[in-house]
């Protein structure tokens, strides 16, 4: 039931493509020799370089095939600053747009959803999703029981299509029926991805045996993107 999780890290390819920016080959870069434990994500943190800049500087390297001895270009100086400046400009533009939108809709009541415990949460969008579930088994997680960012899988971790729900987004999920999950609904974080998780699809991590998790099957749920 959960074999589709075997290709989970292949989502790095699609995500990397979505993050790609115009080439900046004119900027200086240093060369780093990779180890078997390196990923673009860990290297971006290690060298303080935006993930998009790092992947853009190495367009011929397969994100799923970083091995010991591989030469990786690490953007430096102006390259990183330019990307940061662009990100800052984009953030400023987004903030301005959001402020204008908020000003135009101040008279409109915010969307809210009431959780099973009675808490009222504001949300920006509600999406009907087809949900499946996965466990921490090595068969489903050949790179280890961690999410896309390298954090340990835990209750509240879900895999999404980053084009539909950006990674890092907090959500509230309701409408499922499974004893291994909080009754009535749960708050989760979109911190994982998978090659089979495309469009209005999510995969919910459940800390249980593969046999029990497989009983979840496929269910239609409502996902609320929290503000």
CATH of the domain at 41: 3.10.350.10
Domain-embedded: residue 88: no
pLDDT tens, position by position, 157-215: 999 999 999 999 999 999 999 999 999 999 999 999 998 999 999 999 999 999 999 99
Its domain, for residue 210, covers 112-226
63 and 146 share a domain?
Answer: no
Residue 40 has pLDDT above 70, yes or no: yes
125 and 65 share a domain?
Answer: no
Domain-embedded: residue 93: no
Instruction: Give the pLDDT band (50/70/90) at residue 216.
Output: very high
pLDDT at residue number 63: 77
CB atoms within 10 A of CB 159: 29
Query: Rounded mean pLDDT of 52-62?
Result: 86
Instruction: Give the pLDDT band (50/70/90) at residue 103.
Output: very low
140 compared with 108, residue with greater pLDDT: 140
CATH number reported for the structural domain that contains residue 200 in this entry? 2.40.40.10
pLDDT at residue number 20: 42
pLDDT at residue number 28: 64
Of 139, 151, 136, nearest to 41 (Cα)? 151
pLDDT at residue number 86: 52
**Per-residue exposure over 64-89, b if at least 16 CB sit within 10 Å of its own CB, e if not:** eebeeebebbbbbeebbebbeeeeee
pLDDT tens, position by position, 130-156: 999 999 999 999 889 999 999 999 999
* Alpha carbon distance 169, 127 (integer Å): 14
pTM for the whole structure = 0.57
Q: Let me know the angle formed at the C-alpha of 147 by 83 and 118, rounded to the nearest 5 degrees.
A: 100
| Residue in the block written with tokens 């998978």 | 194
Residue 15: φ, ψ to 5°:
-65, -40
Query: Rounded mean pLDDT of 209-224?
Result: 97
Query: Rounded mean pLDDT of 21-40?
Result: 70
28 and 126 share a domain?
Answer: no
Domain-embedded: residue 195: yes
Domain-embedded: residue 154: yes
pLDDT tens, position by position, 68-98: 889 999 997 544 444 445 554 554 544 444 5
Question: Residue ranges of the alpha helices (H) in 105-169?
Answer: none
Instruction: Taking the CA atoms of 84, 85, 88 and 93 in sequence, report the sign of the dihedral they define.
Output: negative
pLDDT at residue number 45: 87
- 26 secondary structure, DSSP code: T
Q: Work out how many domains the chain is built from and give that number.
A: 2
* Alpha carbon distance 99, 21 (integer Å): 26
Query: Rounded mean pLDDT of 40-62?
Result: 86
């Amino acid at each position: 039931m959960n074999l589709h999780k075997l290709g989970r890290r292949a989502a790095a390819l699609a995500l990397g493509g979505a993050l790609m920016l115009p080439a900046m080959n004119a900027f200086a870069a240093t060369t780093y020799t990779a180890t078997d434990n390196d990923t673009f994500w860990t290297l971006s943190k290690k060298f303080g370089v935006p993930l998009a800049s790092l992947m853009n500087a190495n367009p011929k390297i397969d994100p799923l095939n970083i091995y010991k001895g591989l030469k990786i270009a690490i953007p430096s100086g102006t390259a990183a600053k330019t990307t940061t400046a662009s990100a800052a400009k984009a953030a400023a533009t987004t903030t301005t747009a959001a402020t204008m939108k908020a000003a135009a809709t101040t008279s409109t009541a915010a969307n809210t959803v009431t959780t099973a415990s009675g808490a009222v949460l504001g949300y920006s969008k509600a999406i009907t999703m087809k949900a499946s579930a996965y466990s921490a088994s090595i068969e489903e997680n050949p790179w280890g029981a961690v999410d896309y960012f390298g954090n340990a899988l835990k209750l509240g971790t879900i895999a999404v299509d980053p084009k539909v729900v950006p990674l890092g987004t907090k959500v509230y999920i309701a409408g499922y029926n499974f004893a291994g999950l909080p009754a009535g609904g749960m708050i989760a974080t979109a911190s994982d991805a998978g090659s089979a998780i495309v469009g209005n699809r999510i995969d919910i991590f459940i800390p249980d045996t593969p046999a029990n998790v497989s009983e979840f099957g496929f269910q239609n749920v409502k996902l609320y993107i929290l503000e």
